[in-house]
Each structure stands twice: as C-alpha cells, then as structure tokens.
Amino acid sequence: MVLHKRIPKATGKRCMESMGWLITVGDDEGEINLLHPFSGVQFELPHQNTTENYDNHATLHLMTFFQKAVLSGSPHTSDYILMVIEGDIDFLSFWRPGDLRWTRIEEQTPQSTIGDVVHFNGHFYAFDFFWPRDVDGPEPTKTHIVAQQPFGPRDSRDKLYILESLGSLFVVVRVGGRARHVKDDYDRIPLTFIPVEGVVAELTYGTTDFQVFQVDLASGKVTRTKELGDRSFFFLGANASISVQASQFPGIKPNHIYFTDDYWETYLHYEEGGGLDMGVFSLADGSIQPHYKGVSLSHFCPPIWVTPTLC
C-alpha cells in the first residue's frame, strides 16, 4: 500500500528516522529537529556546531553531518536519549531533553569509526567495524566491548549494521553497498554523472549480498545464520533498523531483508540524485527483488523506512 502525504516541515531537508519520528537536518543553516511526520509535532534540537570539536570534524554539506539517529524512547516523555553518529569520522554523541549541546562518547578513536547504533534492553549498542560495543548507563559516556569481530578483513565496499530481534543482537554485512569506479553505468536507470576533480570514472554501486551474524551477549560469541524464522529485517537506510514478525503484516515475506539506498555520498555526483539501490533480499536463496515499482531519486534525502506511531 502506498500513502501519498506532503510533510511541509520536512521539505528540502535530509531525514533520518527512529521510532516513527523524523530527525530532520537543513542544508542552509544546519538546523536540526525531531518531527512526527503524521501529526506535525516538532521539537528543536541543538545545532550540530554544539558537538565537540565541531570545526575540525565538520562535513562539506551541513545536512550530511549526522549519519544516523536512534531514540531510546518516545519524545513525548522527558526520559529518553537521542544517540547520533556524527562528524567526518563518525563519532557517537547523544542529547537528552534539556541539554543545550551534544555530548561526545568517550573512549573512541579514529580507528574505531562507528558504523551503526541500536537501542536494546536499556542500552545502546554500536558497531565500530571491529566489535559491538555497549554504551552503558543513564549517562552514556563510556563504552564496553561485548563481542569480538568474526569477519576478518572486509572489502571497502561493504557496510555493516546492527539491530535487535527476539531478544538478540544481529550484525548484518551489506556487500556492494558502497561505490566502485567503473567506465560504464549499468544501473536500472541511466544517470547523468557530474565530473569530479580527481575522479576519472563514474561512481556506481549496488548491493549483491547480505551476511547475517547473531551476537550472544552472555558469551561474546558471534555466529553466522541464514535463518530468521518468521522475522524480517527492515533497515539499511537512514532509519533505525527494526525486526518485524512477518506473519503479523500481510505482504511481508519472512526470512527476508528489506533495504533502501543509504550511500548518500554519491547522490551529489549525479544530476538526477541517487537512491536506486533498494530491494528485498532472500536469506534462503540470495535473490534480490524490487519492493517499489516507482523511482525515488534525491540529492539529499534517500528513501527511508518509517515505523507508524501515534503522536
């Protein structure tokens, strides 16, 4: 089912999603807000320039400074935390209602660049390409290693994500989700490449595979699996990743991954924008099918999943 709805407060802004709320970022001023897309309720957040050492870690475009945003609870209460991945080397920072600035997580180095974050069982867990970490406590300023990385060296085109399902953490490797340099663009729809100094070939990309790993928090063991049972994963976009019970939602396929295009770095390299790398991946046979027959291209806001919630 497709619902067409205008969201004026999100117009011209980059949007991320968590628990049915949009985290919107403007490109002109870099203003940041929490927005409920169906009711229009909105809360202003501190500007990105209140993050630690902002001048040394600012990105080229204001709307790309925040990579991911995850809520710990509903913004209708005063007891919640908004965790974000921010900056040019992807730091973790958080904000609580009443704070005037963002607080940077300690014990992080450039070698532990954060790829994704999830809230689970009262804790934030982040994956930093080496190991899942638990960002602990009511004032989350320190991290704790909870499992060792089982993968070995990864291809630079791979991306990693973390989410919760049925009381367990899962790490998912997306193969082919980042750009590669090629002479010809063979995507489904021809795009007009904008020449970039130092880039001699067009940037193109496309997801080819997913690898799913289950994390045992008690033992720290990480095991690969190809069976999600009646569950399906909705993620791999600018939204907080979720797991749903497929049998409760007509049309959703069990043991599948529904993904959208989140390689925003390439969107500005095409006149039409980006956003074509979307589909439904079967863990059973490795096939990828489209989940949306239309075309959704944008220079600043990729397609994202939104979990419907009441305001």
Mean pLDDT of 88-110: 83
Is the pLDDT at 173 greater than 50, yes or no?
A: yes
Is the pLDDT at 129 greater than 70, yes or no?
A: no
Query: In terms of pLDDT, which residue wins out, 192 or 145?
Result: 192
What confidence category does residue 23 fall into, taking pLDDT thresholds of 50, 70 and 90?
A: very high
Mean pLDDT of 60-72: 90
What are the tens digits of pLDDT across the range 181-225?
Answer: 433 333 456 778 787 776 655 666 788 899 999 988 888 788 999
What confidence category does residue 55 fall into, taking pLDDT thresholds of 50, 70 and 90?
A: very high
pLDDT of amino acid 268: 76
Distance, in Å, from the CA atom of 35 to the CA atom of 19, rounded to the nearest integer, reads: 11
Q: What is the 3-state secondary structure of the chain?
A: CCCCCCCHHHCCEEEEEECCEEEEEECCCCCEEEECCCCCCEEEECCHHHCCCHHHHCCCCHHHCEEEEEECCCCCCCCCCEEEEECCCCEEEEECCCCCCCEECCCCCHHHCCCEEEEECCEEEEECCCCEEEECCCCCCCEEECCCCCCCCCCCCCEEEEEEECCEEEEEEEECCCCEEECCCCCCCCCCECCECCECCEEECCCCEEEEEEECCCCCCEEEECCCCCEEEEECCCECCEEEEHHHCCCCCCCEEEECCCCHHHHHHECCCECCCCEEEECCCCCEECCCCCCCCECCCCCCCCCCCCC
Query: Contact, 29 vs 80, CB < 8 A?
Result: no
Mean pLDDT of 85-103: 91
pLDDT of amino acid 47: 96
pLDDT of amino acid 180: 47
What is the reported pTM? Answer: 0.87
Q: What is the mean pLDDT of the chain?
A: 82
pLDDT of amino acid 131: 53
Is the pLDDT at 61 greater than 90, yes or no?
A: no
Is the pLDDT at 294 greater than 70, yes or no?
A: yes
pLDDT of amino acid 185: 38
Distance, in Å, from the CA atom of 17 to the CA atom of 234, rounded to the nearest integer, reads: 12
Distance, in Å, from the CA atom of 32 to the CA atom of 69, rounded to the nearest integer, reads: 11
What are the tens digits of pLDDT across the range 25-53?
Answer: 998 888 999 999 999 999 999 999 999 99
Domain range annotation of the chain = 8-290
Is the pLDDT at 155 greater than 60, yes or no?
A: no
Length reported for the chain:
311
